[in-house]
Amino acid sequence: MVEAAVKVSAAFPATKLVTVDPTSIDDDVILQHVVPVLQAGQLVALPTETVYGLAGNALDAAAAARIFQAKGRPSDNPLIVHISHMNQLQRLVAPHALPQPGSLIQTLCDRFWPGPLTIVFPKHQQVPMNVTAGLDHVAIRMPSHPVARRIIDLSGLPLAAPSANRSGRPSPTSADHVLHDLGRTREITEEDEQRAFEFGRGTGVGCIVDGGECSVGVESTVVRAEDFQVLRPGTVTLEQLRQIDDRFELYGATRNVHKNERSAEEQAQIDTPSTPGLKYTHYAPSVPLILFEVISPASAFTARITSYIQEQIRKNPSIRIGLIRVHQDLQYSELPQENLEYFPLGSSTDLAAVARGLFASFRALDEKKVDLIVMEGVLENFEGLAVMNRARKAAQTVVEGENGTA
Ligand code: TXA
Ligand code: MG
């Protein structure tokens, strides 16, 4: 029973794949194959409802160091700590900053936890400095994925876990994506760990828990409650946060502000992100992505994308272009279909579905070895704000909407 849950792929023989069915969790599998790894300070990639995470003991500096080595992640990009019960906050948050009944933070926890919301707190002194990349705040969330929660419960550890992609790649929404980025072709040595960054792709991970595909698909919303800043948009939407307190705003206020209408001060704020990870290239497929912001009417949007693609085909008649489609009403009948590889990604009326499939669409088109990816943008409200935030970071070029606001 327990053995049947463990597989090894031929391509990555030094990484174990452990299957755990989220609808009927087998504790024995977790106790035998996952908990001992975490308790030894080693890493496990595991499913959360947002994306797969690369988890290690958040109270162990050596485990945190391994996370950075495994992904090839720059050490100035802090990690999110995952918990399964409110009482675990006591080991992570400075005593004076624990949520008080009736406070905004308590309201956020009651409303959105467990779920895809990360809250930044003043840190407890026992949280290692490398977890927070030297900051005196720690980012914490309580995931809703039953497998992630059970692993936290059974290991008794708060788990530091960034997305389980190789640094710079799209976040993984399936165990296969993790294997592709972090699977090990051979056992690694201590020396490899020390030389992780020369190792090229990071040292990878020895154990991946497969709990199926992630239902949210983009990473959690990150908020700093003390000044109502949304540091990273997600599927806990700005609109939902504003229902709780209308002072919440997107950090940097890039939303709906055209670049040349921003004040120098606003632009400077955007250029020096407070969430350190934001300054790196992220989520990128291996071929250029051209993102088209929405314009209306649909006929103008179609014409703009069509003429861009025609131009690419003129330059290279054998080019293969991946086209990520979101809007049902856009038609590309004028284009030579043999140059196109369509990827239907939900619909503009179901933004949650667009978010769910976004990173998987980048990876799927990568695998199809297209030369270029073109994506139809969405309006930047509700989950569309998170979708466009990730797509912009992945894009080589963003073709602005008529007034930059779509
Ligand atoms: O949904 C998620 O949040 C996933 C799953 C695995 O939980 N995790 C994730 O982690 O996306 P990561 O490391 O890929 O992104 C963490 C983000 C980064 O942008 C980082 O800068 C920000 O959270 N962050 C972490 N600690 C912070 C802090 N103390 N202050 C401000 N931002 C912080
Ligand atoms: Mg990430």
pLDDT in single tens digits along all 406 residues of the chain = 566 799 999 999 999 999 999 999 999 999 999 999 999 999 999 999 999 999 999 999 999 999 999 998 889 999 999 999 999 999 999 999 999 999 999 999 999 999 999 999 999 999 999 999 999 999 999 999 999 999 999 999 999 999 999 988 999 999 999 999 999 999 998 888 888 766 667 999 999 999 999 999 999 999 999 999 999 999 999 999 999 999 999 998 644 444 444 445 444 444 444 454 444 567 788 899 999 999 999 999 999 999 999 999 999 999 999 999 999 889 999 999 999 999 999 899 999 999 999 999 999 999 999 999 999 999 999 999 999 999 999 999 999 997 554 4
**Nearest bound ligand to the CA of residue 166:** 2
pTM metric for this prediction: 0.93
For position 237, what pLDDT does the model report? 98
For position 2, what pLDDT does the model report? 60
Q: Which residues line ligand 1 (CB under 6 A)?
A: 48, 50-51, 53, 77-80, 116, 118, 120, 132, 135, 137-139, 161-163, 219-220, 222, 231-232, 275-278
For position 112, what pLDDT does the model report? 98
Cα 267 to Cα 385: distance, rounded to the nearest angstrom: 19
For position 255, what pLDDT does the model report? 42
List Cα–Cα distances, 168 to 22, 188, 193, 393, in angstroms: 29, 22, 20, 10
Among 131, 274, 275, 278, the mutation site with the greatest number of ligand 1 atoms within 8 A of its Cβ is 275
For position 353, what pLDDT does the model report? 97
Q: Give the amino acid at 251.
A: Y
**Residue 234 alpha carbon, nearest atom of ligand 1:** 1
Give the up-direction half-sphere exposure of residue 280: CA atoms within 13 A in the CB hemisphere: 18
Q: How far is CA 293 from the centre of its chain?
A: 21
Cα 141 to Cα 148: distance, rounded to the nearest angstrom: 12
For position 190, what pLDDT does the model report? 86
Q: Using the CB atoms, write b or e for 330-351: b if 16+ within 10 Å.
A: beeeebeeebbbebebbebeeb
List Cα–Cα distances, 39 to 130, 173, 341, 355, in angstroms: 18, 25, 45, 34
Q: Rg of the chain's alpha carbons, rounded to an integer?
A: 21
**Nearest bound ligand to the CA of residue 168:** 2
Among 54, 83, 163, 182, the mutation site with the greatest number of ligand 1 atoms within 8 A of its Cβ is 163
Q: Using the mean position of ligand 1's atoms as its centre, give its distance from the Cα of residue 138 in Å.
A: 10
Q: Which two tokens stand for residue 87?
A: 């009482």
